[in-house]
Structure 1
Amino acid sequence: MTDRFVYDVSLRWSDMDAYGHVNNARFLTLYEEARVAMFFVGARAHGLGSFEEGIVIARHEIDYLRPVDFGDPVRIEMWVSELRAASFTVSYELFDDGVLASRAQSVCVPYHLANGHPRRLSAAEKDFLKPYTPPEDRS
């Protein structure tokens, strides 16, 4: 079984649209908050700070399965569905009151912000990501 990084995100009144649901574009913000928690806070807790040097998003894909109303925090579960030499894909599921409300994926590219170019994942970064990959991809 693939380990998942789980993060609860509080909804803000500003996340709502005119219909009283979380605005579709705000889903990206919710997913971003969870991703930042994983790659900055979670990685730092494992002694890894290199993701803070830069990660850029090459692609987002979102499926909206049901509206999310203002209320309790939503739970986002994340894992790494693809791990390559110079990119990785983060998959997400967003749960509202325990019900799956959205699925998404982001292609992330490690980036050296100071030098302005993409870079390859380090061995330490791959080691951090591997528990979140499917078991068959951990070799």
Structure 2
Amino acid sequence: MQTEAHFETHEEVMFFDTDCGGVVHNIAYLRMIETCRTRLAAKLGMDLATMASTQQFPVVVRTEIDYRRPAKLGDWLTIRGRLSEVSKARFWCEFEMLRDQDGSILVTARQALALVQMPEGRPMRLPAEWVKDWTTSLVTTTS
């Protein structure tokens, strides 16, 4: 199963995303990244129903984020996520958030994830077929 390892979501900045000055607060950016990452995971075979039935969940173990420009109330944003790196135990996703009105890059982020078996909370190796398929799709999307 080879799939392209990227996904794009679109969000409008709402009141609950902003502070009293109408500027997006940092946790709202992470929520938007979470939505994009969840949709990307589904595209890669880790949809919510599958995770619930297998009790295997990708868990964020590291987030690196750079805030370049602020988004404001009413802005429309495009969030682009892509699988960027795969190892036997972890995988990395990268994100960029752009303001649709002017194409400005507002935020860039990188997250490391590990697969965890619940309810034990036991870290797992990524299934060999995921590593093979995802590595193949990385070659496809980066060339």
TM range (shorter): 0.7 to 0.9
2:60 to 57, 61, 64: 57
1:63-107, CA deviations, whole angstroms, 9 ceiling, x for partnerless residues? Answer: 011010122431111112221101011110001122211100111
The number of equivalent residue pairs is: 135
Judge conservation of contact 1:79–1:133 (CA < 8 Å) in 2.
no
Question: Tell me, which stretches of 5 or more residues in structure 2 are unaligned?
Answer: none
1:102 is matched with which residue?
107
Judge conservation of contact 1:11–1:71 (CA < 8 Å) in 2.
yes
1:37 to 36, 39, 42: 39
CA distance in 2, matches of 1:3, 1:121: 16
TM-score (norm 1): 0.80
**Closer, same or farther in 2 for the Cα pair 1:94/1:137, shift >3 Å?**
closer
- Percent of residue pairs bearing the same amino acid type: 24
**Closer, same or farther in 2 for the Cα pair 1:104/1:117, shift >3 Å?**
same
Which residue identity is paired with 1:25?
A: I
Judge conservation of contact 1:3–1:131 (CA < 8 Å) in 2.
no
2:96 is matched with which residue?
93
Judge conservation of contact 1:7–1:77 (CA < 8 Å) in 2.
yes
* Partner SS state of residue 70, structure 1: coil
Judge conservation of contact 1:94–1:100 (CA < 8 Å) in 2.
yes
RMSD: 3.0
1:68 is matched with which residue?
71
2:119 is matched with which residue?
114
TM-score (norm 2): 0.78
What is the CA-CA distance between 1:16 and the residue it aligns to? 0.5
1:93-139, CA deviations, whole angstroms, 9 ceiling, x for partnerless residues? Answer: 0011222111001111111123321111113433553365355999x
After alignment, is 102-111 or 4-13 more displaced?
4-13
